[in-house]
Amino acid sequence: MATTVPTRGAHTPPTGGSGAASNGHSKWRTRLWRFDDKASPYAYIAPFFLIFGAFGLYPLLYTGWIALHRVEMTSLNQSEWVGFDNFTRILQDSEFWTAVTNTFVIGVISTVPQLIVALGLAHLLNYKLRASTFWRTVILTPYATSVATAALVFALVFRADGGLLNWVLHFVGFGDTDWASGEWTSKIAISVIVIWRWTGYNALIYLAAMQAVPADLYEAASIDGATRWQQFRKVTIPSLRPTILFTIVISTIGSMQLFGEPLLLEGGTLGSVGGSEHQYETLSIYLFNYGWKLGHLGPAAAVAWAMLVLLLLIALINWIVGRLVRKSATA
């Protein structure tokens, strides 16, 4: 992979200007080329950094400034220094802590089953199949569905009266469940939407990683008399460890962002506060409610910073767990 990048300085200009007359001209050209080679890469990557700087990094820092001020939706140009009042305000709000817990709980019960099912699904797709592309496309269709559409369909499915799920469940002897009102059932409903949308996508990511596992590892394992299940556990899973970690990180970040699902599960005013008892209110809903419904942007910015702290905490936990797992694997 150590191919050197060609530089034009090494080549003579093909204009082939012979004689002294074109000498100055070619020197100028060489200088221009050298500048072209030096500057071009930066020019090509500049758009990304400009856009990210203007609409990503700058607002991120600006959030910190707003969090220390009083800014109202009705008068965006006026701000008043309030110190850490916004932070104490949200930290003393029990609704905030409910949202933190909900985000965490929904994150776990949507991510863990999702990734386990995706792993199994990828394993199945890794077999030699008839119409393999067809199966891959089918399991990916939920990915093409928007959050809004998915949330709205599942809202009907999970409806208390006349909902499809309750109708199916009554055949196995369950009474009507008011899914959206329950502490746990509402979180399960949200998680089902998330799981439905993302399992196929994650399965394809695992499948890509599985296909990169060298075949001789499996050959060696089967020569040693390993069963299929043992091969899956001792060869596939360890080889996939970096990919699994990657999907855990991505899903964790994703679950911090849950917004459309809780907003539209019941819709209307209930959606913007995450249910009558805030039973499925996530941090994004809490931020939206504070900033856009109540119009207090200062506390909303403080919530954003709290989310950043939580993300860093989760990253730390991920890192520690990753290390422990690796240690126990080598031990």
Partner 1 sequence: MTTTSPIKTAPDFVPAPPAAPAGKRGGRFKLGAGQQLKGGPFTYVALIVVGLGSIFPLYWTLVAASHDQQRVLDSPPPLLPGGRLWSNLQAAWEQAHLGKAIVNSVIVAGCITVATLFFCTLAGYAFAKMRFRGRGALMTAVIATLTIPPQLSVVPLFMMMSDIGWGGKLESVIFPTLVGAFGVFFMRQYLLEALPYELIEAAKVDGASNIRIVWNVVLPAARPAMMVLGMLTFVQAWNDFFWPFLALNQENPTLQVALGQLSASYTPDQSIVMAGALISTLPLLLVFVIFGKQIVGGIMAGAVKG
| Contact predicate 298/64, CB 8 Å | no
Task: Kindly state whether residue 15 participates in binding partner 1, applying the rule CB under 8 A.
Answer: yes
Tokens standing for 293? 């419904």
Eight-state DSSP code of residue 10 = G
Q: How far is the CB of 45 from partner 1 (least distance, A)?
A: 5
Scan residues 240-259 and list those touching partner 1 (CB under 8 A).
241-243, 246, 249, 253, 256-257, 259
Binding string, residues 49-78; x marks residues near partner 1 by CB under 8 A? x-xx--xx-xxx-xx-xx----x----xx-
Binding string, residues 306-325; x marks residues near partner 1 by CB under 8 A? -xx--x---x----------
Task: Kindly state whether residue 239 participates in binding partner 1, applying the rule CB under 8 A.
Answer: yes
Q: How far is the CB of 82 from partner 1 (least distance, A)?
A: 15
| Contact predicate 142/196, CB 8 Å | yes
Near partner 1 by CB under 8 A, which window of 82-90, 106-114, 231-239, 320-328?
231-239
| Contact predicate 114/195, CB 8 Å | yes
Altogether, the residues listed in the chain come to a count of: 331
Q: How far is the CB of 11 from partner 1 (least distance, A)?
A: 6
Q: Of 91, 116, 212, 324, which lies in the binding site for partner 1, with binding defined by CB under 8 A?
A: 212
Residue among 183 and 320 whose Cβ is closer to partner 1 = 320
The helix or strand, by DSSP H or E, that contains position 212, with its residue range, turns out to be none
Q: How far is the CB of 16 from partner 1 (least distance, A)?
A: 10
Near partner 1 by CB under 8 A, which window of 87-95, 200-208, 273-281, 316-324?
200-208
Task: Kindly state whether residue 37 participates in binding partner 1, applying the rule CB under 8 A.
Answer: yes
Scan residues 89-118 and list those touching partner 1 (CB under 8 A).
none
Beta bridge partners of 75: 72
Task: Kindly state whether residue 215 participates in binding partner 1, applying the rule CB under 8 A.
Answer: yes
Task: Kindly state whether residue 229 participates in binding partner 1, applying the rule CB under 8 A.
Answer: no
Task: Name the nearest CA neighbour of 188 among 134, 260, 262, 92.
Answer: 262
Q: How far is the CB of 81 from partner 1 (least distance, A)?
A: 16
273-291 residues labelled b (16+ CB within 10 A) or e (exposed): bbbeebbbbbbbbbbbbbb
Eight-state DSSP code of residue 9 = G
Task: Name the nearest CA neighbour of 285 among 299, 298, 274, 293.
Answer: 274
Near partner 1 by CB under 8 A, which window of 33-41, 84-92, 178-186, 321-329?
33-41
Residue whose entry in the numeric block shows the structure tokens 């520690």: 320
Give the Cα separation of 236 and 249 in Å (integer): 20
Near partner 1 by CB under 8 A, which window of 107-115, 178-186, 291-299, 316-324?
291-299
Binding string, residues 120-149; x marks residues near partner 1 by CB under 8 A? -x--xxxxxx---x-xxxxxxxxxxxxxxx
How many chain residues interact with partner 1 (CB under 8 A)?
A: 121
Give the Cα separation of 71 and 307 in Å (integer): 19
Give the Cα separation of 263 and 223 in Å (integer): 54
Task: Kindly state whether residue 280 participates in binding partner 1, applying the rule CB under 8 A.
Answer: no
- Backbone phi and psi for residue 301, each to the nearest 5 degrees, phi listed first: -65, -35
